[in-house]
Amino acid sequence: MIPELGTYALVLALCLSVLLSTIPMVGAQRGNLLWISFARPLSIGVFFFTAISFVALTYAFLANDFSVSYVANNSNTALPWYYRMSAVWGGHEGSLLLWVLTLAGWTLAVALKSRDLPADILGRVLGVMGIITTGFLLFVLFTSSPFERLLPRSPAEGADLNPLLQDFGLIVHPPMLYMGYVGFSVAFAFAIAALLSGRLDAAWARWSRPWTNVAWAFLTLGITLGSWWAYYELGWGGWWFWDPVENASLMPWLIGTALVHSLAVTEKRGVFKSWTVLLAIFAFSLSLLGTFLVRSGVLTSVHAFAADPERGFFILMLLLITIGGSLFLYALRASEVKSESSFSLVSRETMLLVNNVLLTVICFTVLLGTLYPLLVDALGMGKISVGPPYFNALSVPVGALLMLFLGVGAVTRWRRQDGTALLKQLVVPFVIAIVLGVLSLMLREGESTLWTYVGVILAFWLLVMAISDISDRVRRRSTPVLANLKRLPRSYYGMQMAHLGVAVLAVGIAMVSAFNEQRDLRMAPGDTQQVGDYTFVFEGARHFDGPNYSSDIATLRVFYKGEPYDVMQPEKRLYTARGTVMTEVALDPGLFRDLYVALGEPLENGAWAIRLQFKPYVRWLWLGGLLMTFGGILAATDPRYRKQSRREQSKLETANA
Amino acid sequence: MRKLLLFIPLALFLGMGFFLWKGLYLDPREIPSALVDRPMPAFELPSLTEPERNLTVADLTGEVALVNVWATWCPTCKEEHSFLNQLAQQGVTIYGINYKDEPVKATAWLQRYLNPYREVILDQEGRLGLDMGVYGAPETYVIDAEGTIRYRHVGAVDANVWKQLQAVIEQVEGAGA
């Protein structure tokens, strides 16, 4: 009964979202305030019924209702309750429902939080989000309903959740990622609303900025969590694989990053308007493209859901309507946009333009690399592969260039800047960065490549520039330093924190790529192995039975410079329901290095294949991601957005009076 | 003029959409028929184990064999490697193509995980892989005694895949006898 209620609630949500995508839109076109005012209650209704449906599915999982085919395929009575709950988004159907719920959630948030927006803009924004919701609800109901029953022959036991996904990472990674993906729909909806109303001005950029920052922060967090999860769960010790699905999340992130910066220029200076709109459309389009790539089976990937051309065709139609429609609208309307100001060659505008161009170039490279095999195949020219060498060869140098300009851009003035003065300002920090970078690598044992130097020097460059910029700003006033620090706006700190995140990430990438040590060994009980300052003593493995798996646990005693340091217990699990073998690595995390031990196959006489890894600075990768996330949130919650929108509201009221 | 420029994003998107649509009906794991029953593309590449010696198609002929494309950057290759070792122990002839890889890493890998290959062709630039239409590592081909490609498998070789490959090998050997 409950699963049927879930379907019923989805149908109701669909009906309401059809209304949401029509009534307020028509109302905004005709200037009918009554019709526009339907937008807010309809948004609440769509969210309410989608949430009911989601709760119904969660209930089916918690109650082990294996008559529901999706539950039977992705759960098991032996699964602990928290994994039964996260199993809701462990497969295609349920994760799509989560996608729709997130979309409805963002719509609700816009409806509740944007009371200060002009009525027609709000109506159009919610209307556009209603159109997207309608499309995805149709997709769920017609091709991917999670509520389909296996009746009358329902199994007594479920097939179990993919063991890879039985992990804390899976509980949090998809929801965060979807919050980011779907969050770009808000910027998209604002862009479309602006195009429809013909009011592409600085106010539009100001409204979408906090939303875009929040969505970007979530996406950053989602990707970071995904990388961290792959690191400890897949057992290879890698953190980025250039897998098509990873690329699918990286592309909207790159364009989203460009959008965050371009919105700043549009808001502050009134230039780049049509470019910003295009980026807003692209950021969400790439999110949709990612959905298509993951769920249609056009590319092979470890992440891919079961291939189904029918589903793929449906998403492709959705893509065609939303992206094609919005780009058509863009082509018709963007020519009316006029720039409100001008800027000279050396200015922050130019620097941010460089940022946009470089990010777009990386994104295009990744897009090309991801789709190239498909393209060549579709042309009947055979099948070719694009591997990490291609992606690294292009993204590493462009990324380095991006960091170089980042340091310059953050201190350049808006509108016009004296070139020679700027150069003078940059020389000293640049020299300091080179000296610090070279010294810190020289003092370290091991061989550094050119790119290690570039990475570390550029990280120091960003750090030095950030410090010099903050101290410049503080010294500009004669009041006490602490008071001056407090006076700097929150969004400024957000920016610095996110940029610092880039530096930390760069250190992580450079160090772990250069100094990673890996030993693949055959270890019999009593065998020892030295990795750096650490000695590993293998003490043998024993058998252990878990709730839904049986496993072998090895014990390694670790000594640091001869002193007892730690006991590490890597594990190899056999999940009985699916017969899948999983590696549970043993990790000793640290700020400057991780010890990583994975258990391989059993060999003769109690010996095991064991992989030991010493991973310097690997935590910095995710630390960088977290700094960027917090930076984005800090910037989005800057109080000035509220103040400004209130000021506008009162201005509007006086104008109307 | 500027108006026309604004249509470029739409045109690009429609072009991409067309290919995505075509891509829907192609199976990325399917064997391209064009390659099967064609001779191995000609090549002259160094051996990984003895870099001063060059290998050609002639080195792969003589008996029915597997040709395995692998690289150290490919995690799936690691998964299938122990199975390849088993096959080699059972007397199956396997040639390796070390694809777009670094020779130092590849040599270290073979020392660590044992070497199931009779010969390893060093295809550092990926030229041979391109000629063969390699989609990604790992891939495994069945070639007959004359060096003609008879079957192609994309992805790791495990017990199930081996059954398919075995069937092909038996068929090829039967036809040759």
Query: What residues of chain A lie within 8 A of the CB of B35, using their CB?
Result: 382
Is B109 in a helix, a strand, or coil?
helix
Indicate whether A134 and A25 sit together in one domain. yes
Distance CA A29, CA A27 (A): 5
- Whether A538 is covered by a domain: the verdict is yes
Three-state secondary structure readout of A6-38:
HHHHHHHHHHHHHHHHHHHHHHHHHCCHHHHCC
Backbone phi, psi, residue A346, to 5°: -95, 100
Characterize A24-53 residue by residue with b for buried, 16 or more Cβ atoms within 10 angstroms of its Cβ, and e for exposed.
bbebbbeebeebbbbbbebbbbbbbbbbbb
Indicate whether A506 and A521 sit together in one domain. no
pLDDT-derived band of residue A298, with 50, 70 and 90 as boundaries? low
Query: What residues of chain B lie within 8 A of the CB of A377, using their CB?
Result: 23, 26, 28
pLDDT digits (tens, 9 = 90+) for A243-287: 888 889 999 999 999 999 999 999 988 888 889 999 999 999 999
- Whether A379 is covered by a domain: the verdict is no
How many Å lie between the alpha carbon of B95 and the closest alpha carbon of chain A?
20
Task: Count the residues in chain B.
Answer: 177
pLDDT-derived band of residue A304, with 50, 70 and 90 as boundaries? very low
Instruction: Give the residue on A whose Cα is nearest the Cα of B10.
Output: A327
- How many beta carbons lie within 10 A of that of residue A329, not counting itself? 17
Number of helical H runs and strand E runs in chain A: 21, 10
- Whether A317 is covered by a domain: the verdict is no
Indicate whether A602 and A547 sit together in one domain. yes
- Bridge partners of A573, per DSSP, are A551, A582
Number of compact structural domains in chain A: 3
DSSP A603-656: -GGG-EEEEEEEEETTHHHHHHHHHHHHHHHHHHT-THHHHHHHHHHHHHHHHH
Indicate whether A78 and A103 sit together in one domain. yes
User: The dihedral of CA A429, A496, A266, A184: what is its sign?
Assistant: positive
Q: Say if B104 is an interface residue toward chain A (CB within 8 Å).
A: no
Arithmetic mean of pLDDT, A153-163: 80
Confirm if A633 and A494 have CB atoms less than 8 A apart. Answer: yes
pLDDT-derived band of residue A6, with 50, 70 and 90 as boundaries? very high
- Whether A235 is covered by a domain: the verdict is no
- Of all residues in chain A, what percent carry a pLDDT higher than 90? 48
How many Å lie between the alpha carbon of A120 and the closest alpha carbon of chain B?
26
Whether the predicted pLDDT of A159 surpasses 70: yes
Indicate whether A485 and A576 sit together in one domain. no
Indicate whether A471 and A418 sit together in one domain. yes
DSSP H or E segment with residue A242: none
Q: Which amino acid is at A411?
A: V
Q: Say if B73 is an interface residue toward chain A (CB within 8 Å).
A: yes
Indicate whether A490 and A540 sit together in one domain. no
Counting Cα atoms < 13 Å in the Cβ hemisphere of A109 gives 15
Task: Point out the least confidently predicted range of A208-222, A376-390, B25-39, B127-141.
Answer: B25-39
Arithmetic mean of pLDDT, B63-69: 90
Indicate whether A474 and A556 sit together in one domain. no
pLDDT-derived band of residue A308, with 50, 70 and 90 as boundaries? low
Indicate whether A37 and A131 sit together in one domain. yes
Whether the predicted pLDDT of A657 surpasses 80: no
DSSP A218-240: HHHHHHHHHHHHHHHHSSS--S-
Q: Which of A313, A364, A377, A604 to mutate to test the interface with B (most CBs of B within 10 A)?
A: A377
Is B46 in a helix, a strand, or coil?
strand
pLDDT digits (tens, 9 = 90+) for A563-599: 899 899 999 888 877 667 788 889 899 999 999 998 8
- Of all residues in chain B, what percent carry a pLDDT higher than 90? 6
Distance CA A58, CA A86 (A): 9
Name the CATH architecture for the domain at B35-176.
3-Layer(aba) Sandwich (3.40)
What are the structure tokens assigned to A151, written together?
């009746």
What are the structure tokens assigned to A646, written together?
């209130």
Confirm if B71 and B81 have CB atoms less than 8 A apart. Answer: no
Q: Say if B13 is an interface residue toward chain A (CB within 8 Å).
A: yes
Alpha carbon separation from A71 to A26, A92, A171, A175 (Å, rounded): 41, 12, 17, 19
Decide if A300 and B28 are in contact by the 8 Å CB cutoff: yes
pTM as predicted: 0.82
Confirm if A352 and A409 have CB atoms less than 8 A apart. Answer: yes
Q: Which amino acid is at A430?
A: F
Distance CA A279, CA A256 (A): 8
Confirm if A394 and A365 have CB atoms less than 8 A apart. Answer: yes
Indicate whether A490 and A545 sit together in one domain. no
Residues contacting A56, CB < 8 A, separation 6+: A2, A3, A5, A6, A9, A147
Distance CA A399, CA A3 (A): 48
Is A268 in a helix, a strand, or coil?
helix
What is the DSSP code (8-state) at residue A410?
T
pLDDT digits (tens, 9 = 90+) for A78-90: 888 999 999 999 8
Displacement of CA A623 from its chain's centroid (Å): 15
Arithmetic mean of pLDDT, A448-467: 93
Last residue of a domain, one of A450, A481, A515: A515
Indicate whether A565 and A503 sit together in one domain. no
Residues contacting A162, CB < 8 A, separation 6+: A74, A90, A578, A580
Q: Which of B135, B139, B149, B152 to mutate to test the interface with A (most CBs of A within 10 A)?
A: B135
DSSP H or E segment with residue A340: none
| Residue-level pLDDT at A135 | 94
Residues contacting B171, CB < 8 A, separation 6+: none
What is the DSSP code (8-state) at residue A446?
S
Q: Where are the beta strands (DSSP E) in chain B?
A: 45-46, 54-55, 65-70, 94-99, 119-123, 139-143, 149-154
- Whether A99 is covered by a domain: the verdict is yes
Arithmetic mean of pLDDT, B74-84: 80
Q: Say if A331 is an interface residue toward chain B (CB within 8 Å).
A: yes
Distance CA A625, CA A636 (A): 17
Question: Is residue A133 classed exposed, middle or buried when 0-12, 13-18 and 19+ CB atoms within 10 A define those classes?
Answer: buried
What are the structure tokens assigned to A636, written together?
């989005």
Three-state secondary structure readout of A563-583:
EEEEEECCEEEEECCCCEEEE
Tell which A residues from 366 to 395 touch B, by Cβ distance under 8 Å. Answer: 371, 373-375, 377-378, 382-385, 387-389
- Whether A199 is covered by a domain: the verdict is no
Indicate whether A134 and A150 sit together in one domain. yes
Instruction: Give the residue on B whose Cα is nearest the Cα of A300.
Output: B28
Residue-range definition of the domain harbouring residue A492: 406-515
pLDDT digits (tens, 9 = 90+) for B6-17: 888 888 888 888
Whether the predicted pLDDT of A521 surpasses 90: no
* Domains in chain B: boundaries: 35-176
Tell which B residues from 118 to 147 touch A, by Cβ distance under 8 Å. Answer: 129-130, 133-137
Question: Is residue A579 classed exposed, middle or buried when 0-12, 13-18 and 19+ CB atoms within 10 A define those classes?
Answer: exposed
* Complex confidence, ipTM: 0.71
Last residue of a domain, one of A515, A532, A554: A515
